[in-house]
Structure 1
Amino acid sequence: MKLLLNIDVPDLAAAEAFYIAAFGLAPARRFGEDVVELTGAPVPLYLLRKAADSAAYAPADRDYTRHWTPLHCDVVVEDLEAALARALSAGAIGEGAIREAVWGRIVQLADPFGHGWCLLEFRGRGYDEIADPR
């Protein structure tokens, strides 16, 4: 199986600039005027230009204000403060303080297009610190 990540955005150039600056991704391929592939993560990320108010699914239209979805992306980083500063300076919106856990630290943010993201800094064995050995 191969996983691909597709993200709808209203402004392809602005989204490309954000994801390059915030997460250090690099443009790889373009597919016409409406799609760019970014690499540098374990899975390729595809930015898809989709106009606000265009049909997303019946009966809803796309809305690029901050939205909630049960799906979000986590980015594992070595230095949480540095990664957060980079993302914020690129245009991310912070959504709370850094939180501590047995497995590491986490902070929530949103990209400029309403998508939720978390930055994670693992400690020790990461999630294995809390994994059930069964």
Structure 2
Amino acid sequence: MRPALLVNIDVPDLARAEAFYCAALDLRPGRRLGGGAVELLGADAPVYLLLQPPGGVAAADHRRDYGRHWTPVHLDFVVADLEAAVARAEAAGAVREGAIRPAAWGRIAQLADPFGHGLCLIAFSDRGYDAIALEDPAR
């Protein structure tokens, strides 16, 4: 069995987070999982918003801080119309972090959601990541 991918995003305000992700990324609510989680559908993997209070224990000696933070694991959402997607995300409360940038595989916009999580909106060129893919040396 291949592993399934689930995206979990800790948030301090479930209703506000649901409103943001539905408006910004055109996701739609799925199931409510008790009073502390909601499933969002419409992406390639389900997105689960998990209600977690600020200052709560995140892991070991780490506490949740919903100020802008950076982590090497982040979310990229592939969109057809980058400018429209950025405008929709900003209208919903995202903060753009720099200009839209070109890349060999397309274009990218970096943003932060209202809870400090970084996310990127990506518009692929016709070749997408194939434009930078290297041949497998084992072949």
How far 1:57 sits from its partner (Å)?
Answer: 1.4
Q: Which residue of 1 aligns with 2:85?
A: 83
In the TM superposition, what are the counterparts of 1:1-134 in structure 2 within 5 Å? 1-134=3-136
- Seq. identity, %: 63
Task: State the Cα RMSD in Å.
Answer: 0.6
Say which SS state the counterpart of residue 16 (structure 1) adopts. helix
Please report the TM-score for the alignment, with normalisation by the length of structure 1. Answer: 0.98
**Counterpart AA for 2:24:** A
Say which SS state the counterpart of residue 68 (structure 1) adopts. coil
How far 1:124 sits from its partner (Å)?
Answer: 1.8
Q: Distance in 1 between matches of 2:87 and 2:122?
A: 14
Report runs of 4+ in structure 1 exceeding 3 Å deviation: none
Q: Once the two structures are superposed, what CA deviation does each residue of 1:4-52 show, in whole Å capped at 9, x if it has no partner? A: 0000000000000000000000101001110000000000000000000
Q: Distance in 1 between matches of 2:18 and 2:48?
A: 10
Say which SS state the counterpart of residue 70 (structure 2) adopts. coil
How many matched pairs?
Answer: 134
Q: Once the two structures are superposed, what CA deviation does each residue of 1:69-89 show, in whole Å capped at 9, x if it has no partner? A: 110000000010000000000
Q: Distance in 2 between matches of 1:130 and 1:69?
A: 24
Return 5+ residue gaps in structure 2 as ranges.
none
